[in-house]
Structure 1
Amino acid sequence: MTATTPPSLVIDVVDTGDAVLIRVRGEIDLRTGPRLERALAPFHARRCELDLGEVPFTDSTGVNLLVRHHREAARAGGALRLVSVARPVLRILRLTGTDALLLPGGGPLGAQDPS
């Protein structure tokens, strides 16, 4: 029997001075969510732009994490804005109603719209 290694989560942080761009690649789930949480936590008081364009899957762990960071950032004077979202993740955000909270203007992000 051969065990396969699940895809890892890659997080790149680019601090532009005015904002922090956080690019995420890989799946966000119960196993990888804590890594993303640790990456987002230091930036609650900053304006964060989160690129999920290369995230093919998230479960409730990822949705809860995004909502929690959005609220904590607002309390600390920062902000969280999704600048790119892969279609499967956008679908989950729409199904859970969190698209209105996390997407700019509550609407779809250009070409990522699954409609």
Structure 2
Amino acid sequence: MFLDYGMKLEFKTSGYKFLQGVASTLAKGRGMLEVSVDAGTRKTYLSKGVDVFDRVVENIQKYREHGNIQLKYIACSSNISDADISGFVELAKHTKPISVMVTPEFGESWAKSRS
């Protein structure tokens, strides 16, 4: 419906679901997709209680085949290992997003406590 008014749309997703309508909008050059990735490795996704790593990676690749995407890494204490960062960098190299963003987890303090 929004496309009928000449608007460009911005979508945000975790990549868990692939939505054909979003992909079609990307293919028409009428939208941008930001995918927030929770981890750079399968092991870290599993530690969050879900085995969706392959699914998320596959969906990111499918969206990228339809148009431009942005990748966002939400860094927190449980996903900031070298393996996770390397995994995310490799995902970015493979999918070639137009941009990459790294942000801290909302509400998580990165300040070191003083004793």
1 or 2 for the larger relative contact order (CA 8 Å, sep ≥6)?
2
Query: TM exceeds 0.5?
Result: no
Calculate the TM-score normalised by the size of structure 2: 0.43
For the pair shown, the structure with the greater C-alpha radius of gyration is 2
